[in-house]
Amino acid sequence: MITIKEIARQLDMSTTTVSNVIHGKTKEVSQETIERVRAYLDKVGYVPNLAAQNLAANQSRIIGVVIKTRKDRYMNILSEPFVSRILGVIEQEIREAGYFMMLYISEDMMDILNKVAAWNTDGLLLFWMVDDDALRVYKRYRKPVVCVDTYISREVIHQFEHSFVNIGLEDEKGTYDAVSYLLKLGHQRIAFLSDDRSGVNRERYRGFCRALDEAGKEHGEEDYFELNSGKDGIYESMAQLAKRAAGYDAVLCCSDVYACIFTKALERAGLGVPTDISVMGFDDTIPGAISRPAITTVHQDIEKKGELAIGTLLRMIQGESFENDQIILKTSIIERESTCKR
Amino acid sequence: MITIKEIARQLDMSTTTVSNVIHGKTKEVSQETIERVRAYLDKVGYVPNLAAQNLAANQSRIIGVVIKTRKDRYMNILSEPFVSRILGVIEQEIREAGYFMMLYISEDMMDILNKVAAWNTDGLLLFWMVDDDALRVYKRYRKPVVCVDTYISREVIHQFEHSFVNIGLEDEKGTYDAVSYLLKLGHQRIAFLSDDRSGVNRERYRGFCRALDEAGKEHGEEDYFELNSGKDGIYESMAQLAKRAAGYDAVLCCSDVYACIFTKALERAGLGVPTDISVMGFDDTIPGAISRPAITTVHQDIEKKGELAIGTLLRMIQGESFENDQIILKTSIIERESTCKR
DNA sequence: TTGAAAGCGCTAACAA
DNA sequence: TTGTTAGCGCTTTCAA
Report pLDDT for A102. Answer: 98
Determine how many CB atoms are found less than 10 A away from the CB of residue A75. Answer: 16
Return all residues near A67 (Cβ < 8 A) that are at least 6 apart.
A77, A83, A103, A104, A105, A127, A128
pLDDT at A231 over 70: no
CB contact under 8 A, B257 and A290: yes
* pLDDT at residue B327 tops 90: yes
Q: Give the tens place of pLDDT for each residue, B56-91.
A: 999 999 999 999 888 888 889 999 999 999 999 999
Q: Delimit the domains of chain A by residue range.
A: 4-48, 62-169+303-329, 171-299
Residues in contact with B142: Cβ distance below 8 Å, sequence separation at least 6, in sequence order? B162
Closest CA to B299 of B278, B342, B330, B277: B330
- Please report residues of B whose CB lies closer than 8 A to that of A260: 290-291
Q: How many residues does chain B have?
A: 342
The vertex-B217 CA angle with B215 and B222, nearest 5°, equals: 140
- Within 261-290 of A, beta carbons closer than 8 Å to B belong to 261, 263-264, 267, 286-287, 290
* Domain B62-169+303-329, classified CATH 3.40.50.300, yes or no: no
* Nearest nt by C1' to A53 Cα: D10
pLDDT digits (tens, 9 = 90+) for B265-286: 999 999 999 999 999 999 999 9
Give the C-alpha separation, B223 to A152, whole Å: 57
> A119 to chain B: which residues are within 8 Å by CB?
50-51, 100
Q: Which residues is A251 bridged to in the sheet?
A: A191, A279
d(CA B173, CA B204): 8
Task: Tell me which H or E stretch contains A226.
Answer: strand A224-226
CA distances from A184 to A175, A178, A216, A246, A272 (A): 14, 10, 13, 21, 20
Residue A71's contacts (CB-CB under 8 Å, 6 or more residues apart) are A107
Please give the pLDDT value at position A199: 94
Interval B43-66 mean pLDDT: 96
For A309, other C-beta atoms within 10 Å of its C-beta total 26
Inspect the interface and report whether the beta carbons of A287 and B286 lie closer than 8 Å.
yes
Name the percent of chain A lying above pLDDT 90.
85
CB A302 within 8 A of CB A337: no
Sheet holding B296-299, edge to edge: B224-226, B190-194, B250-253, B278-283, B296-299, B332-334
Assess B55–A contact: CB distance below 8 Å, yes or no. Answer: yes
Per CATH, A62-169+303-329 and A171-299 having the same topology is answered yes
Q: Which of B16, B19, B3 is nearest to A120 (CA)?
A: B3
Domain B171-299 = CATH 3.20.20.140: no
The pLDDT mean for chain B works out to 94
> H or E element: which one contains B84?
helix B81-96
Q: Which pLDDT score is estimated for B162?
A: 72
* Mean pLDDT (whole number) for A25-30: 87
Q: List the alpha helices (DSSP H) in A227-334.
A: 233-244, 256-268, 286-290, 302-317
- Closest Cα partner for B207 from B128, B151, B129, B134? B151
Q: With cut-offs at 50, 70 and 90, classify the pLDDT of residue B231.
A: low
Give the nearest chain A residue to B118 (CA atoms): A49
* pLDDT tops 80 at residue B94: yes
Say what the pLDDT of residue A35 is.
93
Confidence of residue A152 (pLDDT cuts 50, 70, 90): very high
Chain-centroid distance, C-alpha B156? 21
Q: What is the pLDDT of residue B299?
A: 98
Q: What is the DSSP pairing of strand B332-334 with strand B296-299?
A: antiparallel
- pLDDT of B68: 87
Q: How far apart are CA B55 and CA B48, in angstroms?
A: 13
| Strand duo A123-127 + A165-169: pairing | unpaired
Provide the pLDDT confidence category of residue A71 given band limits of 50, 70 and 90. Answer: confident
B interface test, pick of A96, A292, A307, A337 with most B CB neighbours within 10 Å: A292
On whether any CB of chain A is under 8 Å from the CB of B103, the answer is yes
CB-based contacts with strand D under 7 Å? A 1, 3-5, 15-16, 19-20, 22-23, 48-49, 52-53, 55-57; B 12-17, 20, 27-30, 32-33, 52, 55-56, 58
For residue B161, pLDDT over 80 is answered with no
What's residue B241's pLDDT?
96
Mean pLDDT of all residues in A169-179: 98
Under 8 Å between Cβ of A56 and B55: no
pLDDT of residue B290: 94
The string of pLDDT tens digits covering residues A266-307 is: 999 999 999 999 999 999 999 999 999 999 999 999 999 999
Contacts of A75 (CB under 8 A, 6+ apart): A231
Say whether B76 and A54 touch across the interface (CB within 8 A): no
Interface test with A, best of B84, B89, B139 (most A CBs within 10 A): B84
